Structure 1
Amino acid sequence: MSDTKKVLVAEDSSVIINLTKNVLMFENYNITAVKNGKQVIDKLNQEDFDLILMDINMPIMDGIECTKAIRAMKDEKKAKVPIVAITGNFKNYTMDDFKNAGLDDYIQKPLDYDHLLATVKKHITAKQ
């Protein structure tokens, strides 16, 4: 029986998706990537994840709107999945803005992959 943790990466940049996948897959996380908030909701309706890495600025449905939609889901397990914002515009937001939207944490771009990995581990461990 595998105890591989599933991480959903919501990011419209293929470069960031590929780098993030490489870092997390090296640590044996199962990675699924999507390019916008609507795809996040679609994937979450199909399967469970242990963590979502959520870009704030995405097309179709941004990360804030998508996080609010997840937190409003009827399925309590899905509604409570840890969500970590990924943003290059962190100066436009406060941690209170992220908390009010339902985000658990944030990582600023350009990504520091050691910090990314530590943040992912922190939230997945806290969830167990």
Structure 2
Amino acid sequence: MPKQVLIAEDSSVIQNITRRVLQFQNFDITVVKNGQQVLDYLENNDCDIILMDISMPVMDGMECAGRIRQLPDPKKAAIPIVAITGNAKNYTMDDFRNAGINDYIQKPINFDILVETVRRLTNA
């Protein structure tokens, strides 16, 4: 059964490229545009990993990651989260870890690193 990847990204260009790359690797993809939509999606759905832009409207990735870690469902609260950011210089790995983020990928996205990271964190 393919692993479920939730992509939270407000840029349609990055959404589409990331979706295509991961679909080609046989992952099932769902795309949302902000952190609130991530939380709404998780109310009724499961996923194996979340790729989350840090800078999104409505709710950013750091706040959303913290809220996911507080979810009452322990399986959902432990979903691996990978930050995707063009502003990694503004954060340390400790900042990401403190927000509940497992790893990060710098924009522009290196798709070999993206695929390797998703595979590693989903055991795919």
**TM-score for both structures, normalised by structure 2:** 0.99
> Hey, what's the Cα distance between the residues in 1 that align with 2:43 and 2:26?
24
SS of the residue corresponding to residue 105 of structure 2 reads strand
RMSD of equivalent CA atoms: 0.8
Correspondence for 1:20: 18
SS of the residue corresponding to residue 122 of structure 2 reads helix
Runs (5+) with no aligned partner, structure 1: none
> Hey, what's the Cα distance between the residues in 2 that align with 1:45 and 1:83?
17
SS of the residue corresponding to residue 71 of structure 2 reads coil
Q: 1:67 Cα deviation (Å)?
A: 0.3
Q: 1:92 Cα deviation (Å)?
A: 0.2
Moved over 2 A (4+): none
1:47 maps to 2:45: yes
> Hey, what's the Cα distance between the residues in 2 that align with 1:80 and 1:109?
25
Correspondence for 1:38: 36
| Pairing 1:38-117 to 2, within 5 Å after superposition | 38-117=36-115
> Hey, what's the Cα distance between the residues in 2 that align with 1:27 and 1:117?
8
Correspondence for 1:120: 118
Correspondence for 1:11: 9
Counting matched residue pairs gives: 124
Calculate percent identity across the aligned residue pairs.
60
Amino acid of the structure 1 residue aligned with 2:4: K
> Hey, what's the Cα distance between the residues in 2 that align with 1:106 and 1:45?
24
Q: Give a deviation string over 1:60-86, Cα, whole Å, max 9, x none.
A: 000000000000000000000000000
